[in-house]
Structure 1
Amino acid sequence: MEDNMPRDDHRSALLVTDAMERTVEELPPLQDLVPAAVAQGRRRRTRARLALAAGIACVAGAVVCGSLALAVGNDARTTVRPATSGTPSASASPDRVQEPEPYRTPVHIAPTSDGERATAHLPAAERKRRAEFQQRAAVLLDKLLPDAVGLIRPVDLEVWRYQAETADGTVFPVIFSVRPSGGGSGLKSCPADPGALKGGSCEQATLPGGIKAISLRVFADSAETMATEVHFPYGHSDVTLMVNPAQGARASAPVTGKELLAAAADPRFLELVRHADAHPMEKRQTSVEGG
């Protein structure tokens, strides 16, 4: 077939064949090409896997960041600020100012006696001192007395008067009095004749520090309702803690003598008593209203 080709075509074919042979001769032997190709394929596969893993990590990071952003946004809208704890956190400053206790709106009474009118005209600083003490006492008594007594609020013109009100509107007058006695001589004792209590009860107890106290459960306001009270001397004062029957309702004080004694024995209550004894807010008198 080559013999029948024109001379020029035959010459061109030889040139092409020669060029192809030279190109093949410059390439490495066949056995060297296979390992090189395998290694190159492995490198490409490794790079592809790394790229895929990086992409997955980026996507996962974006999802986590998005979740955190959503959580922060939701907390900002729905988280309720927790109540203040008396124990500071590890990161809290040792002289961090604690938040004030919840404020109890005082029950207002119009002055009807000389004492109430005198209280209404006390200097502003003294009225503030008494009001702050009553706020502390109301919040503490609310913690120490049974829930059945109700929410306790101070009465504004008498530092020793408080009012407890239940959810259904039942009101129980409460007395917390630290009255100067001139030496803490107002120690009371249970009657020798139980009949003198007319169906009530009396219990003697000893509070922390060796303080002698009595707890009384006696009829008050009517023959059907009873009051509960605790009396004890402290320093130069006579102390009374008392829950009276409900106003306008036939309901006895919803607290037992033991429960009232437990409240009086609480160190926080005795600290309030100590403060009132050291900084009197009542005048010396022979009787306590409601006692």
Structure 2
Amino acid sequence: MGKLNSNTKLILLHPYIQKQGSSNRLWLLAFISFFTIAFLLTLIYTRESITSKTAATSTTVTGPSSISPFGGAPLPTTVINTLLHYASKSNDSFHMPHSELKPISDVLRKCSSPCNFLIFGLTPETLLWKALNHNGRTVFIDENRYYAAYYEELHPEIDAYDVQYTTKISETKELIASAKEQIRNECRPVQNLLFSECKLGINDLPNHVYEVDWDVILIDGPRGDGPDGPGRMQPIFTSGVLARSKKGGNPKTHIFVHDYYRDVEKMSGDEFLCRENLVEHNDTLAHFVVERMEENSFQYCRSKNNSTSSSS
């Protein structure tokens, strides 16, 4: 028994050692808790910050367009006048002077928003037309496929399409006579040109171009020089049909014909846009206002005297 007791060892833990281990665990637990809370607060704050910034950005970019894709305030008068001034002072020898830019600009300013503006021809004024029709729909049609693609690449905000013209200036009189003969069939004044085989109608544009109710149309292309040039008979005829065939919007369409002093522009304009609709013109720019017509209308002009000057 005594031998057994002599080999027995008693281990005692001092209270201080136990207290020290518990204290370390508490400090570790407190540290982990603090770190976790700080991490959660940081995460929540960051998510709220990103959400608020995204909402603010979305409001800034799409705010008015939630009501209308082209909503927004019009350009101030001082900005418009400045654009016209510098555009008319361009060094390009083919630019329009101020006397031609101003009438088109005035019509665009009075146009209800969003304004639908169709332009035949990519010209030195292309960027100006896009800027003046601020918040509106502006579409350009050009005869040169490569130039249209190049221009869109250079200016992504420009909406341009190419068209293959099938006319020649030397055929102007024959084409006008053919359209008058087909006035009750393929060359009707009121129709959807997308399905038309009229020689003067443009029927290979994107579908949506024919569905838009255009408020303003400018004809400044294609080339109008030389007997083999395409001339502007097709754009003039097409513009007249688009104006008369509108389904909604303003019943009146403002159509501007540039280089009106030339025979093709004058003959086609008088025949298909009509002298009775000519409200203003100078040596180079004619301004027509063409009204919507009923579907069963079979005359381009209400007055028979319109074609007298063309025939002569």
**Structure 1 length normalisation: TM-score?**
0.31
Which protein has the bigger strand share?
A: 1
Q: TM-score normalised to the size of structure 2?
A: 0.30
Structure (1 or 2) with the larger CA radius of gyration: 1
